[in-house]
Amino acid sequence: MTDQTSLILALAQVNPTVGAIDANADLILQWAAQAKQEFAADIVVFPELVLTGYPPEDLLFRPGFIALVEAALDKIHRENPGLCLVFGAPRHQQDCLYNSAVISQPGQPLQFYDKQHLPNYGVFDEQRYFVPANDVCTLQVKGVTLGILVCEDIWFPQPMAQAVAAGAECIININASPFHDLKTSERITEIKQRIAENKVPVCYVNLVGGQDELVFDGHSFVIDRERNLLSMAAGFEQGLSVVQYQASGELTALTLSVAENSSIEQLYQALVLATRDYVIKNGFQRVALGLSGGIDSALVLAIAVDALGADAVQAIMMPYEYTADISKTDAADEARRLGVEYSEIPISAAVQAFVHSLEGEFSGLGRDVTEENLQARSRGVILMAISNKKGALLLTTGNKSEMSVGYATLYGDMAGGFAPLKDVSKLKVYALARYRNTLSPVIPERVIERPPSAELAPDQIDQDSLPPYELLDPILAMYIEQDRSVEEIIRLGYDQDVVKRVTWLVDVNEYKRRQSPPGVKVTHRAFGKERRYPITSGFRQS
């Protein structure tokens, strides 16, 4: 395929499982062997901390965990299929732990590059575990000098400049960079800036797969020294991207490069991958969800089927006296279109049993939201019973707009194991539903067009309790994702009373969100580990 003056470099975009060190070591060796067999690769590069999965969090504090890492490093080096391997792993040295790139070459001792810049913002907490380093690392493969950087290092000028000053002709950057909207463009823009400063190409390999609240999109790429995007891997799937580096410095892509998908398509792919990996990596084979005939549950049903297959999904409709006939019709239609197991279990008997049990306790007290919540909680009990009995993970169907303002019932519609839409606003739910219908028409148009309703009271719609989503969602985005103050939002032209009410609802419902199931992060700021606000707080913005 090539002469001795060129180098075949493969970027292995793989999906490890956090803590599955032996399986991850096998993953590295399998993909390395494949790259050698299919492309005669001289070097195969894997993502950051691929050996442990990312982020390993407090597993890093366990001596037994580090001992397994060290044993796996020996195994990979011993079973190296005869080429240069670069992959991420923690490295313990003299009572310090480093986030490292490991270099394994046949006949040579292991070589390491330790990450210099440790991110400690958003979802990142690396300074809790690792010590920063400042050494440069270059390696020679077939006469080409390569510089090694780990993830965050490429966002700062100095590490790449140091590597180039040490003779690097091409930079390898290994990453575990989580997805959020427009993240790929941000990476490319920043790396083109580094290339403009140093005049050498960059090979960027990124992790792929779901891990708890995070999803990694892959989109590994190569940019040449003229800042041309030479190659990009498909997002949200494993694969090899292979390039040939000539002694002249010219790069040629040997595998197909893909165009970046639209923002809404990437968002949908992220939700599907995150749901699949959360279910499968946690040992489940099936999921269940409540199907209301509304747009949120319809979208979650489509995501679940696309993630796991129709045979692994059960949808349960639980009507009450306030459930519209069209809701029952549409829910059954959605289940039919997607081919899933479908059950209809009325909740009237369960609700009345609770009401009867509480008659004495509620004597003399008028009807209020409590009775509405009894409906939601009856549904939660039924769904959790099915989950327990059938070993199916329960998916919740609430969206970010609802979770932001507490428009959800604890131990009712919030009951479950994973929340695919937890970081997806209501307006994005509509956009995703319309996108999914371009693939195949699985969500009835009436479901998209109907005013949303919890159907817990006669003729109820969401706008009885909330501002229109066209108004609510921008306020929430500014307050939660952009950290804008109440005063700033009002100055942008939003009604003062509406802004104050919405932001107050966000603040006082932290206790609910703290008890909600995990959901995947897809925006710049998600609830959970990225947005850590106290439940008990006297701070209120006027």
Catalytic residue among 84, 137, 151, 170: 151
Q: Which residues of 183-195 are buried (b: 16+ CB within 10 A; e: fewer)?
A: bbeebbeebeebb
CB 517 within 8 A of CB 526: no
In degrees and rounded to multiples of 5, residue 246 shows phi and psi of: -85, 155
Using CA atoms, how far apart are residues 307 and 302, in angstroms rounded to an integer? 8
> Is-catalytic flag, 169?
no
Strand 170-175, strand 144-150: pairing: parallel
Is the Cα torsion angle 380, 383, 386, 391 positive or negative in sign? negative
Strands (E), 248-387: 251-253, 286-290, 313-317, 341-344
Catalytic residue among 48, 152, 334, 455: 48
Q: Is the peptide bond before 55 cis (omega within 30 degrees of 0)?
A: yes
Using CA atoms, how far apart are residues 236 and 183, in angstroms rounded to an integer? 13
Max Cα distance, the chain (Å): 90
Using CA atoms, how far apart are residues 390 and 386, in angstroms rounded to an integer? 6
Give the pair of three-digit tokens for residue 429: 């739910």
Catalytic residue among 115, 183, 281, 422: 115
Task: Kindly give, in sequence order, each residue whose CB lies less than 8 Å from that of residue 164, ignoring residues fewer than 6 positions away.
Answer: 147, 171, 198, 199, 200
> Is-catalytic flag, 115?
yes
Using CA atoms, how far apart are residues 541 and 502, in angstroms rounded to an integer? 12
Give the pair of three-digit tokens for residue 223: 């940019």
Which amino acid does the sequence have at 529? K
Using CA atoms, how far apart are residues 236 and 297, in angstroms rounded to an integer? 23
Is the Cα torsion angle 475, 481, 482, 487 positive or negative in sign? positive
Closest CA to 173 of 134, 221, 123: 221
CB 314 within 8 A of CB 392: yes
Give the pair of three-digit tokens for residue 78: 């011993």
CB 248 within 8 A of CB 255: no
> Is-catalytic flag, 321?
no
CB 474 within 8 A of CB 498: no
Closest CA to 480 of 518, 441, 528, 444: 528
Kindly report the length of the chain. 542
Active site residues: 48, 115, 151
